[in-house]
Amino acid sequence: MTETFQFKLIATDGKARRGEVSMPRGTIRTPAFMPVGTVGTVKAMYLDQVRELGADIILGNTYHLMLRPGPERVARLGGLHELIRWPHPILTDSGGFQVMSLSGLRKLDEQGVTFKSHVDGALHHMSPERSIEIQGLLDSDIQMQLDECVALPASPKEIERAMEMSLRWAERCKVAFGDQPGKAMFGIVQGGDIPHLRERSAQALAGLNLKGYAIGGLAVGEPQEVMLDMIDTTIAHMPSEKPRYLMGVGTPDDMLKSVARGIDMFDCVMPTRSGRHGLAFTRRGRINLRNARHAEDMRPLDEESNCPAARDYSRAYLHHLIRANESLGGMLLTWNNLAYYQDLMAGIRKAIEEGRFADFMAETQEEWARGDL
Ligand SMILES: CNc1nc2cc3c(=O)[nH]c(N)nc3c(CCc3ccccc3)c2[nH]1
């Protein structure tokens, strides 16, 4: 715990890094998986459980929270940490990505984005300054700049326009954020799948001397190899002494390969969203509990896990709950999936400390490939 924001490297193994982000509200062990708590809750979980599984930080979402309950109301209620009873760090996205993907986007120009709420259809305008103001009202510890994430495939002209505007918005967000010692504002590298635009974006953002940087514009439907190439291209021009957050990633395989390239922080709705729909992540790969083959399988998901959802419940029961659309089904699979993701991250951190990350990665991928016994 420190009064300021500090990132320290503890060990490296090839390009993989083991580090720690220290903030007043707590320390984030990296590589870190950050569960997504979009509207102030990690769906189907108690936050005490999320903490027990090893999460040092969760994510909140400016877009959702600005629509409901509203940032001024959250501030009147004592800020997000008080409201949701999570005293540890929270990272909030700026809302740009969600506006593009969730709302009826009405206008996007130099001033910001104008959109219709998917909650009640009301019109909202969000400028870079307003996004930072909202994240401040939420008392967010790590605030993201407002940016424009272009869905791929897109024309080079379109990708360049969005990247250059995101750079101008980064400068405006830096001014609006000012100097908040115990908090951080991260820049977001854009540039789509075009190397020289990625390079320009990363170098310009490095010049702003921000406390951390995200790689944006990926995990938007591109093939894994395109994503991995863009990570290599982008990291080559990012400062090595600052945390690197790959937004929206990913599957366990995505995360292993991204850690190997130098990524420190991840977020993904996969373990929570797919858990609610019956998908279980295990050491032996994925299992879709909706499938009838599990109807009388009395085995648990993983008898060696120390998570009760993985160790104590039969696949037959999980299958039944998912088919019956019972809340407990999504609760147990979300619990299992977040346990698996955090155990994987803990294994990654330990492997880097011990200089055996390459072996860990190969062993983990082999076990997935071996499939379910
Ligand atoms: C699933 N793939 C995915 N790719 C993304 C790219 C971007 C991007 O280029 N810019 C921004 N600002 N966010 C992105 C996000 C959202 C991540 C998030 C969700 C919830 C809470 C907090 C943070 C992405 N998510």
The bridge status of strand 16-23 relative to strand 26-30 is: antiparallel
Measured at the alpha carbon of residue 265, what is the angle toward residues 14 and 225, in degrees to the nearest 5?
Answer: 65
Q: Which of 93, 165, 201 to mutate for ligand 1's pocket (most ligand atoms within 8 Å of CB)?
A: 93
pLDDT at 50: 98
Give the end-to-end CA distance of the chain in Å, rounded to a whole number.
44
Please count the other Cβ atoms lying within 10 Å of the Cβ belonging to residue 352: 24
C-alpha angle with apex 19: 15 to 25, nearest 5 degrees?
A: 150
Catalytic residue among 93, 141, 193, 254: 93
pTM (two decimals): 0.98
- Angle (CA) 196-184-247 rounded to 5° is 45
- Residue 177 CA, ligand 1 centroid: distance in Å: 20
Q: What pLDDT, on a 0 to 100 scale, did the predictor assign at position 110?
A: 97
pLDDT at 282: 98
- As a whole number of angstroms, the distance between CA 197 and CA 194 comes to 6
Can 147 be counted among the known catalytic residues? Answer: no
Does residue 267 carry a catalytic annotation? yes
- Does the beta carbon of 148 sit less than 6 angstroms from any atom of ligand 1? no
d(CA 163, CA 176): 20
pLDDT for the residue numbered 62: 94
ipTM of the complex: 0.99
Q: Which residues of the chain have pLDDT under 70?
A: 1, 373
User: Is the CB–ligand 1 distance for residue 267 below 6 Å?
Assistant: yes
